[in-house]
């Protein structure tokens, strides 16, 4: 997605150990026009698939999940990382290990919001090791619902996330694919392949 690549090049900052900071438009401040374009692009990528609901995880998945859901006219649900006071039983849950943060969190979603006949598109902001996306897919599988696919805003293609998701049988569509962040430089996958 060209607008996203330009935003990454113009506003992204490569911080140490292969991490891209995009706090000006995705992870802290939000660019609503760009996020709306992401929603339109996800709808194009999964064109022809029947989708009844979007599933994401708080916090940074919420904005692109919202615009995709709005585009489709369907609800979106965000999994929580911390148990809410009013939501203590009747939960689907999965353990998600973050290699980046070296911690394991339990993610949860109410059983009321993922039903057996749901066809779910998973959306998230970053794909690194794939643990968050696999955790979300696990919530869907536990509910005996269907994962239609996984839409990612920024894929770090030098990490194993995509491979793990594809091995599990899921269609992955990423709006930008990073081949490398070495030498404080963003290189997209296409530039390397050709
Ligand atoms: P994984 O789910 O693919 O295995 O990823 P990992 O554990 O490595 O990532 C943990 C958190 O760090 C996630 O956000 C993920 O989106 C984010 N992350 C991973 N790599 C990058 C990167 O290069 N740049 C940025 N900006 N974020 C990255 P989170 O903790 O769930 O936070 P949030 O959703 O509240 O933002
Ligand atoms: Na994030
Ligand atoms: Na995220």
- Domains in the chain with CATH codes: 2-188 (3.40.50.2020)
C-alpha 119/C-alpha 114 separation (Å) is 9
Model pTM? Answer: 0.95
- What pLDDT is stored for residue 151 in this prediction? 98
CA-132 nearest atom, ligand 1? 2
Q: Which among 28, 87, 83 is positioned nearest to 59, based on CA atoms?
A: 28
Query: Above 0.90 for ipTM, yes or no?
Result: yes
Mean pLDDT value across the chain: 95
Closest atom, ligand 1, to C-alpha of 18 = 23
Has 128 been labeled as part of a binding site? yes
Q: Has 129 been labeled as part of a binding site?
A: yes
Q: What is the pLDDT of residues 59-89, one digit of tens each?
A: 999 999 999 999 999 999 999 998 766 656 7
């Amino acid at each position: 997605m060209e607008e996203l690549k330009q935003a990454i090049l113009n506003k992204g900052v490569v911080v140490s150990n292969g991490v891209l900071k995009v706090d000006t438009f995705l992870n802290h401040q939000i660019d609503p026009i760009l996020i709306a374009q992401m929603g339109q692009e996800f709808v194009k990528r999964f064109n022809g698939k029947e989708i009844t609901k979007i599933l994401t995880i708080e916090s940074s998945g919420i904005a692109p999940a919202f615009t995709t859901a709005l585009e489709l006219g369907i609800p979106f649900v965000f999994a929580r990382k911390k148990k809410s006071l009013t939501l203590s039983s009747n939960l689907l849950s999965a353990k998600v290990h973050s290699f980046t943060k070296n911690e394991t969190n339990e993610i949860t979603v109410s059983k009321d919001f993922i039903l057996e006949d749901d066809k779910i598109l998973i959306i998230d902001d970053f794909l690194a090791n794939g643990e968050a996306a696999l955790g979300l897919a696990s919530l869907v599988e536990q509910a005996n619902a269907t994962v239609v696919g996984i839409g990612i805003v920024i894929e770090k293609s030098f990490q194993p996330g995509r491979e793990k998701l594809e091995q599990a049988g899921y269609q992955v569509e990423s709006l930008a694919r990073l081949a490398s962040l070495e030498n404080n430089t963003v290189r997209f996958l296409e530039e390397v392949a050709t």
